[in-house]
Amino acid sequence: MGFLNQFKPIFWDHQSTKSGPFKSLFDFRSLWRKRVILLVAVALGPLISLAIFDHMVTRYDAEQEIHLRTARLVSNSRRTVSFFLDKRKSALDFVLKHHPFEILIDQEHFKVLLTDLNATIGGFTDLGLITTAGDQFRYSGPYDLMDQNYAGEAWFQEVLEKGIYISNVFRGFRDTPHLVIAIKYQLDGNDYVFRATVDTERFNQLLSEVTPGGNGDVFLINSQGVLQTPTRSHGKVMDTIELPIPEYSEHTRVIEVVDKTGERFIVGYAYLKDTPFILMITEQKSVLMAPWLKTRIVIITFLAIGMFGILLVIYFVATHLVTQIFTADLRRSQTLREVEHTSRLASIGRLSAGVAHEINNPLAIINEKAGLLKDLITYREEYKKDQKLIVHLDSILASVERCGSITKRLLGFARHLDVTIQKINLRAVIEDVLGFLTKEAEYRSITVDLRVDETIPDFETDRGKLQQILLNLINNAFAAMQDGGTLDVRARPADSDMIKISVTDDGSGIPEADLKKIYEPFFSTKTTKGGTGLGLSITYGLIQELGATVEVESEVGVGTQFLITLPLHHTRKE
């Protein structure tokens, strides 16, 4: 959490105090969220949509390419198997048409016939000649099947009905999986069945040479799903396949099936015409799609990295924008407070001027009446000797004079609240400011030491702003000092038509960590004296308006010095 807090926007914990219909404009956390959501939707929405669309299209294309390749492989394999069987049917038909019955039934010639067939086209295990009663009266081959009766065999009945028949793979009398090609023909008015057993090793070799992808398998089944050829992963010959038997189709088809384990297979199949066989090619879809999936993983990885980069940019852009708004709002609030504070000071000044003006009238009457009483006492013999009365009257006149000087200073300070550039005497301005604080200094036994270099000439500046600067600095010095402290106010010439004014106290001092923050609005070290934190902020602004600079040096427990460098020639600024 500490690491994440480093990236938390400065406005995140800010609680808006605004109310009314525009309260939502100052909810910066909500404002930030909306900006982030908007930017994410605009930046990532089309990108994600395009990625999803591309994923769907490329997946569809990859699957279609697999289906087309499988269909092409099934078609080629079907032609190969069909050609193998047709070639042997044609060879048997040729033998029957070009060999007279007398030669065909000769046992020695019958044996030579098998040798000749294998020498020319190959692929035969044995030959047999069977009567319609099912008796095999001629045989050439490695098994002892002479005089065997086939009347009860299913394939024999099929050939009698259809005239030509290619059997399923079955065990028969030899108890070995084999298939036969049988043809019925007529000689000398009698029907016979010419049977040939196909070499299963040669037949199986046809399919073993086909190499499908995706851990693929090529095999034949019959309409009951019984395997007619060996397989790599779907069982042995004469086993029943676990995959569903595909529906009949005159053309090559490719489908997707799921086995009992949940593995998806691409299955291409074709029904072999005039045979009981269904040619099937099975391929694991996960293996076939692996190259495509690998490519997608690489693309998705780059996409994720790009999206992460976009999210970072969105985060920092949205944070920067809302921070700018937040900072502008803070500056606006600060400016409003400064204007409010300045307006309040101006109002207080005008109120003080009004009060001072109203007090001047009764003071003048008191002064006039007290002077008249003193004259009466002085010229009458009976009161002349009463010095006590004269002392009291002198005290009244002195007090009236003191009140007059105070009201005069108030009136002068109020007049200078408006922006006015005029020629001033620096000592007189500083003494006016100190005049407001004389009683507090006497009450707290604070010694005020004022020294103004006599070589400083009168110069032009804004009297009211300079008075407010000095008043704020001296007030802060009084607040930092204990009773009985010392305040030094110095003014001396500096180079390049500049003067330096220093205000030095022996108060508590400012910690070094706080020195960089003393001009920030609402920062105050007066934790127990109700400071608003605006005094030095306003003072700093006034100093800049006069074209001056300020420096501060402070040491905790020793004191603080503010040094103002003020130009003798004022440059008007907006």
User: What confidence tens digit (pLDDT) does each residue in 455-513 have?
Assistant: 888 888 888 888 888 888 888 888 888 888 899 999 998 877 889 999 999 988 888 87
Alpha-carbon distance of 532 to 541, in angstroms, equals: 16
More confident residue, 218 or 412: 218
**Which H, E and C letters describe 497-536, residue by residue?**
CEEEEEEEECCCCCCHHHHCCCCCCCCCCCCCCCCCCCHH
Supply the Cα-derived Rg of the chain in whole angstroms.
58
Alpha-carbon distance of 279 to 572, in angstroms, equals: 101
The yes-or-no verdict on residue 131 having pLDDT over 50 is yes
**With bands split at pLDDT 50, 70 and 90, how would you rate the model's confidence at 574?**
very low
Enter the DSSP assignment of 11.
Answer: T
Answer whether 171's CB lies under 8 Å from 155's CB: no
CA 18: distance to chain centroid?
31
Strands 447-452 and 486-494: parallel
pLDDT over 90, % of the chain: 18
Q: How many CB atoms lie within 10 A of CB 250?
A: 8
Q: Is the dihedral of CA 367, 373, 376, 377 positive or negative?
A: negative
Give pLDDT, residue 305. 92
Between helix 426-436 and helix 463-480 the angle, nearest 10°, is 50
More confident residue, 332 or 46: 46
Alpha-carbon distance of 26 to 254, in angstroms, equals: 64
Alpha-carbon distance of 385 to 380, in angstroms, equals: 9
CA 74: distance to chain centroid?
49
Give pLDDT, residue 233. 85
Whose structure tokens read 């420096």? 551
**Residue 150 half-sphere exposure toward CB, CA atoms < 13 A:** 28
**In whole numbers, what is the pLDDT of the chain averaged over residues?**
82
Q: Which fold has domain 84-197?
A: Beta-Lactamase (3.30.450)
Alpha-carbon distance of 435 to 444, in angstroms, equals: 15
Q: What is the mean pLDDT of the segment spanning 137-160?
A: 87
Question: 3-state class of 333 per DSSP?
Answer: helix
Question: 3-state class of 457 per DSSP?
Answer: coil
Give pLDDT, residue 160. 87
Nearest CA-CA partner of 81 in 186, 196, 229, 224: 229
Strands (E), 359-510: 421-424, 447-452, 459-462, 486-494, 498-505
Ranges of CATH 3.30.565.10 domains, the chain = 419-574
Report domain 419-574's class. alpha beta
Answer whether 479's CB lies under 8 Å from 535's CB: no
Alpha-carbon distance of 312 to 317, in angstroms, equals: 8
Ranges of CATH 3.30.450.20 domains, the chain = 84-197
Strands (E), 105-237: 124-131, 136-140, 164-166, 179-187, 190-198, 217-221
Alpha-carbon distance of 53 to 56, in angstroms, equals: 5
Give pLDDT, residue 28. 78
Q: What is the mean pLDDT of the segment spanning 247-252?
A: 91
Q: How far is CA 535 from CA 138, 437, 440, in A?
A: 129, 17, 19
pLDDT in tens, 21-32: 444 556 778 888
- C-alpha angle with apex 312: 30 to 320, nearest 5 degrees? 50
Alpha-carbon distance of 278 to 224, in angstroms, equals: 10
Question: 3-state class of 538 per DSSP?
Answer: helix
Which residues is 491 bridged to in the sheet? 452, 501
Direct distance between the N- and C-terminal alpha carbons of the chain, in angstroms, rounded to an integer: 47
More confident residue, 6 or 324: 324
Give pLDDT, residue 361. 67
Answer whether 505's CB lies under 8 Å from 558's CB: no
**With bands split at pLDDT 50, 70 and 90, how would you rate the model's confidence at 571?**
low
Q: For the chain, give percent helix, strand, coil, nearest 5.
A: 50, 20, 30
Answer whether 266's CB lies under 8 Å from 214's CB: yes
Query: How are strands ordered across the β-sheet holding 486-494?
Result: 447-452, 486-494, 498-505, 559-567, 549-555
**With bands split at pLDDT 50, 70 and 90, how would you rate the model's confidence at 1?**
very low
pLDDT in tens, 357-403: 667 667 777 777 677 677 767 766 666 666 666 767 777 777 777 67
